[in-house]
Amino acid sequence: MIRHAAMLALLVACNPSDPVESDTVLSSGTSTGSDTDSDTDSDSDTGESTHPETPAERVVIYQLVVRHFSNLNATRAVDGTLEQNGVGKFNDIDETAIDALKELGATHIWLTGIPRQATLTDWSHLGIPPDDPDVVKGRAGSFYSVKDYYDTSPDYAEDPERRMEELKALIDRIHDAGLKVLIDIVPNHVARGYGSLSHPERDFGAEDDPTQFYDPDNSFFYLADPPGQVLELTRPSYWNPEGVEFDGLYPPEDGTAPERTPKVTGNNVTSPRPSENDWYETIKLNWGLNFVTGETFYDPPPPVWHTFDEIVEFWQDMGVDGFRADFVHIVPTEGLSWVIAQAKARDPEFEFYAEAYDNLQGMLDAGFDGVYYDPAYDALKALYQGRASQAEVDNAYLALSDEDRHRWVLYLENHDERRIASPIVDSSNPDDSGFGSAAAGRQVAPIQYLITPGPILFYNGQEVGELGEGREGFSDNNGRSSIYDYGSLPALQGWVNDHAYDGGGLTPAQSDLREWYSDLLNGPVKDPAVRGSGYWGLRYLNNSTDNPGFPDDIYTFARFQPNGGRLLVVAVNFRPGDASSGSVKLPEELLDAAGLTGDSLRVERIFDERGTVEEFVEDTSRFGLTQAGFPAVLPDQTAAVFQVVPR
């Protein structure tokens, strides 16, 4: 869902009684770097960070949007229907496709958009008529406006009546390839017209008292005072799909009877007139917290807790291995923790990953296996765009506690962010801009993916430089691939190549980029040194003040398994438009921590802008590395990984 500052300000404003918790707490561990923005670097607290629970396998989550992934229809009509623009199918994601994603480096497939969403597409013959257009975004509908948690979209099935069987077969194919399956869950809200076909007895709100704004036994919040309020809806002025009639009203919330009382909108809007920028197509769920007064009631567990537990158990029985939970920081951690504990009691290996932009440590404490770490993404993009210093990037990573470093989810793309390759720049909010070039990935991915042993989120199309270009419908021309509209991914279609999944339709540059990402995800990303817990920032040593002649535009850090006898050093060139080079020094304490206690050492270049390489750099000694360093030559907009091993 939307993650930007204005949205967060609104959410905080709606709950003034709750303290705001900072996302950034400086690490108490021994990772190195400046914690200020000054040009003078601190050299305090150098050394290793360790944690015994660091997982042996590096998690790489490939976000596969079923609606787009295998769709070969290139029409891409604005506001196009299912018939016009086509849609991806479960059955098209075959063994060849799955094996290719495994070869790319994926360990998990996040099947995005699985729970059936509200939509304008007519499936009346299946008992699924189109939803009221005033409470739907896009013809296809938002993935995060869930209409039925016990069903999936008929769009994705060759035989819509057997859609759940086709989904189960896909889950089994993914498992047969040795990969895990994640799907979405949205704890904060559901579609305004939520109602399950197969399990109506489990619907939210069936026993609610709609005369109360808040009641711990209610599933929703009701705009009951004064009574008789009418929900009035406004859509974006640019969205006028042909043949769709809007009247701004939604009869189930027209206030003509208590059971038709308007409900609070998903992003905490307590007005019957949510704006076009609100999540007006959704209604907020009540987890026991009155977000206006701060009143709570958690014992016994409120009805919503039990309803979500039933949903989780249903998908566990379907064979799903975990959930990516949407925008969970506005959901009480007490309820999230309870649901996670229930799920893990049934299956200790079941996984939960949180999209969150506030109270991040609280999400970890609630039991999530991984939590989005957006500050690192924001800082890295700002550095790339020339809006931030290396110190600010260092501080973003130093804020990761040593104990939980392996649980932060890092990414360069997902459906909420502009595509890396997107040239769109939003001058009013530079954070809401693309990197401007697919090649930027070669520079920034080695930082983002190697600086922790935690999960990586990788978005379909990223590997071939998808642009997110053009207006698709409700999703305007914003550098993202729409989560609302029917469409396809032009660059990815070249790799899908008539469902051969062999890249036969890619340009040489696209093919080369995909091979480079594969080398990164299968090489350094899963290297024992990166899976290890040792992280050492090197900017405090490798800068023009402490290492005369070293260019300040090269960013460096080291990764290692404590006492593993081997060390990786990552060096990235941030000199705009030009090559850069310098001699990278390593401190004795780092060599000791990595178990490199002998005097004779060798430096090799093992990865760079070309992908996997095996290049000798130099034979040296501990004294040589600490006093003179080793040479790092970096072409424009590139990164390189070096290994230091005994000679």
Residue-range domain boundaries for the chain:
55-191+300-525, 533-646
Query: What CA–CA distance (Å, rounded) separates 27 from 49?
Result: 10
Q: Which of 91, 69, 73 is nearest to 83 (CA)?
A: 73
Query: What CA–CA distance (Å, rounded) separates 443 from 464?
Result: 15
Query: What CA–CA distance (Å, rounded) separates 447 from 636?
Result: 16
- pTM summary value: 0.93
pLDDT at 8: 36
Q: Where are the alpha helices (DSSP H) in 244-372?
A: 303-317, 333-346, 360-365
Torsion sign over Cα 69, 74, 79, 81? negative
* CB 323, CB 187: distance < 8 Å: no
Give 191's strand partners: 282
Query: What CA–CA distance (Å, rounded) separates 436 from 145?
Result: 31
Can the peptide bond before residue 300 be classed as cis, meaning omega within 30 degrees of 0? yes
Query: What CA–CA distance (Å, rounded) separates 223 from 255?
Result: 9
Q: Report which DSSP code applies to 569.
A: E
Query: What CA–CA distance (Å, rounded) separates 304 from 473?
Result: 34
55-191+300-525 folds as TIM Barrel (3.20.20)
Query: What CA–CA distance (Å, rounded) separates 233 from 476?
Result: 20
Do β-strands 554-560 and 534-537 pair in parallel, antiparallel, or remain unpaired?
A: antiparallel
For 102-111, the pLDDT digits (tens) are 999 999 999 9
Task: Give the count of beta carbons closer than 10 Å to the beta carbon of residue 263.
Answer: 26
Task: Give the count of beta carbons closer than 10 Å to the beta carbon of residue 190.
Answer: 28
**Residue 233, both tokens:** 């809806």
Exposed, middle or buried: residue 335 (CB in 10 Å: 0-12, 13-18, 19+)? buried
Query: What CA–CA distance (Å, rounded) separates 407 from 194?
Result: 33
DSSP 3-state assignment of 616? strand
Query: What CA–CA distance (Å, rounded) separates 536 from 567?
Result: 10
Task: Give the count of beta carbons closer than 10 Å to the beta carbon of residue 88.
Answer: 25
Query: What CA–CA distance (Å, rounded) separates 375 from 411?
Result: 11
The architecture in CATH of the region 533-646 reads Sandwich (2.60)
For 16-25, the pLDDT digits (tens) are 333 223 222 2
Below-70 pLDDT ranges, the chain: 1-56
pLDDT at 55: 56
SS3 of 92-149: CCCHHHHHHHHHHCCCEEEEECCEEECCCCCEHHHCECCCCHHHCCCCCCCCCCEEEE
pLDDT at 81: 98
Where on the phi/psi map is residue 270: left (φ > 0), alpha (ψ -120 to 50), or beta?
A: alpha
Helix (H) or strand (E) holding 581: strand 580-584
Query: What CA–CA distance (Å, rounded) separates 518 from 508?
Result: 15
pLDDT at 506: 98
Task: Give the count of beta carbons closer than 10 Å to the beta carbon of residue 28.
Answer: 12
**Token pair 């711990």 in the structure block, residue:** 216
pLDDT at 431: 78
pLDDT at 428: 80
**Token pair 């930082």 in the structure block, residue:** 447
Can the peptide bond before residue 226 be classed as cis, meaning omega within 30 degrees of 0? yes
pLDDT at 40: 35
